[in-house]
Structure 1
């Protein structure tokens, strides 16, 4: 059913999303299956280039894209930025957009599919455990600091949505990252535990029981159970209670759909997710910190909460993009431009 919907939506010439019109991207028309506006379609001398790579992380093959700046010379020393993708996202979507745009500013950037997700290896599929997602970020740092031309002493980190929450956790202890930024940070543990906007506190115990039962079934060799995936009609999407979910379905299922991207995650992952919080030990972040979020994002409360708790660094800024919602920071040109301008100044100063 999902494949049918995906095929149909990708064939649509135009799709209404986020209060405007967005051309539906077709991953089949890009040789690197990129689905963002202005994506590289071929590597050319003197321009930003993309390099699909693969490396091992704890025995698993990780699929990643490295972006090199215009006139890249492997004998020179460039600052570098690791870009962590949103929950359910893949490297060909918003993480790739930001990685490419930062490469245009002179950085070598990397974004990788999380282990067990996207084009990366790992069984069962769609495991979404915080420890693994944090390890993915450490792994990208391992790889990119050995890449030709990278100055390992000038390494930055950018996390988007769920990748933002995991980036906070990674940077607490990984001091290879000299500065850290987030865009539309999503605290996965808080949301899985309490519900979005803390709307499911009364069902916490019930959901933990379901996750425990799913883990028991897996251990007994039974069916792998999943949460988070749904086939929704346009009418059902319109009735969802939060902008993030309404616009998220439009983005991931229609205008920027990619076959490796999915909302689903193993139900047993909730055992790990629900005891995690992106703000635990956040005072260990001593690096410069920039947190970007849309002023109209219904996820803004998570960025504001984390920013207030990040007391270990005095070099920190909360920057709100006027008028933007959470998903609009992923693709709306004027909001992306604003974010990139802010990020460029931040990394130029801190790297």
Structure 2
């Protein structure tokens, strides 16, 4: 029997959730999850969440592992193992937001899923806080694979990777060299290096050298005095947000500051990080990525150009698919029920076809 996840029950459950406010107050959830329909307790025989911590390069990483209904780590009888999905969160995001939502949905389909706060961010360790360097984010993805491959019940030969927003760009880079990832998917891909260098939609090309000078000065100040400069932490009024030129940023402020706010989530990052960010391109060396690839984005997303570029350059992928969610913007793919259900459906088909293998008997009984 091959692992072909069933989506009908999931899609029905998504449709039954109110579309008016697809969010939840983190203060009302014991796991501080921010999305509507989030797990609030671990119940035997159902999808469960397991907060875990592990060491990665002497930094403590905080992660959540979601397990399918019927999962039993203490079962001593030989049984087929579960495929697993590693999920990389957006820039400024944390594991309790959109990454957690997609991890839970994938666990409902029979996968073991892990999402972790990036090193130096969220609930993970690392000083100074909010360092945002591509090498660290890529290493975070390798580290999640290290951990989940050894998690009870995981088939380490069937690990998939899903990167969301900035996590999508870092997922492409991680998978170029880490062939433990059998299949790679992105949702609303964001090429952090290109945007930090060129500006969003290439709107800041004329200030590249000026910003590099400022970042260099910030690095020098850190080395000389220990003082850390931050960027991206401005507090904007509703009027200022409404006046922002890009829909991604307008809707992003609403998502991260209001509807799905979490105290560990922040737009701020060390200015010296720009020395690494502005020299990074998520879609360089794409010939190294030879696994099956699925790129999902909203048809109305002003970030779509980054997904389209990655798709064009993925010339060596075993297979590649670009799926556009009609009518969706970048941020709406994070939470709108109708768009989330479409993305999950495509992920189910993709991972179901690329991470094939026998279903554990408990999951099989649930799906049949």
Q: TM-score, normalised by structure 2?
A: 0.89
Measured after TM superposition, the shift of residue 25 of structure 1 is 2.5
Which residue number corresponds to residue 136 of structure 2? 132
Measured after TM superposition, the shift of residue 222 of structure 1 is 3.6
Measured after TM superposition, the shift of residue 150 of structure 1 is 0.1
* 1:77-226 equivalent positions in 2, closer than 5 A: 77-226=81-230
SS in 2 for 1:182: strand
CA distance in 2, matches of 1:24, 1:35: 6
CA distance in 2, matches of 1:146, 1:217: 42
CA distance in 2, matches of 1:110, 1:116: 18
CA distance in 2, matches of 1:275, 1:66: 33
Counterpart pick for 2:342 among 314, 338, 345: 338
Measured after TM superposition, the shift of residue 228 of structure 1 is 1.0
CA distance in 2, matches of 1:138, 1:242: 32
Structure ranking higher on relative contact order (CA contacts 8 Å, 6+ apart): 2
* 1:171-320 equivalent positions in 2, closer than 5 A: 171-320=175-324
Counterpart pick for 1:326 among 323, 330, 336: 330
SS in 2 for 1:22: coil
Measured after TM superposition, the shift of residue 42 of structure 1 is 0.2
CA RMSD of aligned residues (A): 0.9
Which residue number corresponds to residue 58 of structure 1? 57
Structure 1 runs of 4+ with >4 Å offset? none
CA distance in 2, matches of 1:38, 1:343: 19
The yes-or-no answer on 1:31 pairing with 2:30 is yes
SS in 1 for 2:170: helix
Measured after TM superposition, the shift of residue 185 of structure 1 is 0.3
SS in 1 for 2:21: strand
Which residue number corresponds to residue 4 of structure 1? none
Q: Is the 8 A contact 1:134 1:166 kept in 2?
A: yes
Which residue number corresponds to residue 44 of structure 1? 43
Measured after TM superposition, the shift of residue 314 of structure 1 is 4.1
Measured after TM superposition, the shift of residue 21 of structure 1 is 4.6
SS in 2 for 1:157: strand
More moved, 223-232 vs 169-178: 223-232
Measured after TM superposition, the shift of residue 283 of structure 1 is 1.1
Q: Deviations over 1:214-258 (max 9, x none)?
A: 000000124200111111111110000011000000000000000
CA distance in 2, matches of 1:273, 1:21: 37
CA distance in 2, matches of 1:188, 1:290: 19
Q: Is the 8 A contact 1:25 1:257 kept in 2?
A: no
SS in 1 for 2:87: strand
Structure 1: runs of 5 or more not aligned: 1-19
Structure 1 residues 60 and 22, CA gap change in structure 2 (3 angstroms): same
CA distance in 2, matches of 1:104, 1:283: 34
